[in-house]
């Protein structure tokens, strides 16, 4: 089953190459070439019917064929992708995809961090605390991240100290909730 799914992925990737390069099957066959003649060692163009056969339901995309396709298009496609071993067409696509994923994780982290900061600050306001967060929000700056004041007393916390305080507050809230009398709903 795995071999079948890899074969289908290889076919799909070759179809993408043909489509992205705006090639006919004849043009693709001419570029990739057929098997080399055993006597002369010269490869003739792959016939369009052979291209269709390879890409049909019963077609088998061999490692050799993948290598020939890669030899013809290696400027734009990695062999691992053509062979169905990588989800990325090339290193550039891999880098861009990973940067997009990292950016999303950072955005989610920032959003979650802002939500936690605002929630803790709101809880603190009930007890008369005032919170002033560093507007640069640069987590790599080892300086003061938050200044907390109450009744003329000031505390200044770095990012690490603020993170520790957040964890302690979240732990306390979890502890307090677990020790509330439970209510059974009917």
**186 found inside a domain:** no
Highest mean pLDDT among 39-43, 63-67, 175-179: 63-67
**Together in a domain, 72 and 150:** no
**54 with 61: CB under 8 angstroms?**
yes
For the chain, what is the mean pLDDT? 83
Please check whether residue 156 lies inside any domain of the structure: yes
Domain assignment present for residue 72? The answer is yes
| Block residue for tokens 């079948």 | 4
| Backbone phi, psi, residue 37, to 5° | -65, 135
- The reply to whether 111 and 34 lie within a common domain is no
Helices (H), the chain: 2-20, 25-32, 48-55, 63-73, 79-82, 91-126, 159-178
Looking at 54, 70, 88, the residue that finishes a domain is: 88
Query: Would you say residue 82 lies in a domain?
Result: yes
Last residue of a domain, one of 26, 57, 88: 88
**Together in a domain, 78 and 104:** no
Residue 28 CB-density burial (10 A; 0-12 exposed, 13-18 middle, 19+ buried): buried
Instruction: Report strand pairing: 153-158 vs 144-150.
Output: antiparallel
Same domain, yes or no: 75 and 115: no
First-last CA distance in the chain: 50
Closest listed residue to residue 24, CA positions, set 48, 44, 8, 45: 48
Question: Which of these three, 47, 69, 88, is where a domain ends?
Answer: 88
What predicted TM-score, i.e. pTM, was given to this entire model?
0.55
Q: Are residues 66 and 127 in the same domain?
A: no
In this predicted model, which residue has the larger pLDDT, 144 or 95? 95
Lowest-confidence region among 70-79, 100-109, 123-132: 100-109
Residues 72 and 106 in one domain: no
- Count of domains forming the chain: 2
Per-residue model confidence (pLDDT) at position 183: 59
- Write out the two tokens for 178: 């677990």
Q: Are residues 84 and 101 in the same domain?
A: no
Residue 185 located in a structural domain: no
Residues 22 and 69 in one domain: yes
Whether residues 79 and 112 fall in one domain: no
For residue 38, tell me if it sits in a domain: yes
Confidence of residue 12 (pLDDT cuts 50, 70, 90): very high
101 and 54 share a domain?
A: no
Within a domain: residue 39?
yes
Domain that holds residue 10: 2-88
In this structure, the answer to whether residues 11 and 72 fall within a common structural domain is yes
- The answer for 135, left when phi > 0, alpha when psi is -120 to 50, beta otherwise, is alpha
Instruction: Give domain status of residue 17, yes or no.
Output: yes
Q: What is the DSSP letter of 85?
A: S
């Amino acid at each position: 089953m795995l071999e079948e799914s890899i074969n289908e992925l290889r076919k799909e990737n070759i179809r993408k190459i043909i489509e992205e390069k705006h090639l006919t099957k004849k043009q693709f066959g001419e570029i990739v070439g057929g098997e080399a003649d055993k006597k002369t060692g010269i490869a003739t163009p792959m016939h369009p019917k052979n291209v269709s056969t390879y890409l049909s339901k019963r077609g088998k995309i061999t490692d050799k064929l993948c290598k020939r396709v890669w030899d013809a298009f290696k400027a734009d496609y990695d062999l691992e992708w053509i062979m169905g071993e990588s989800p990325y067409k090339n290193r550039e696509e891999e880098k861009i995809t990973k940067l997009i994923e990292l950016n999303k994780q950072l955005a989610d982290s920032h959003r979650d961090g802002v939500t936690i900061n605002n929630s803790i600050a709101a809880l603190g306001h009930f007890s008369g605390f005032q919170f002033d967060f560093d507007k640069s929000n640069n987590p790599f700056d080892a300086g003061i991240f938050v200044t907390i004041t109450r009744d003329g007393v000031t505390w200044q916390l770095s990012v690490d100290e603020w993170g520790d305080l957040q964890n302690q507050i979240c732990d306390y809230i979890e502890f307090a909730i677990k020790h509330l009398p439970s209510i059974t709903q009917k």
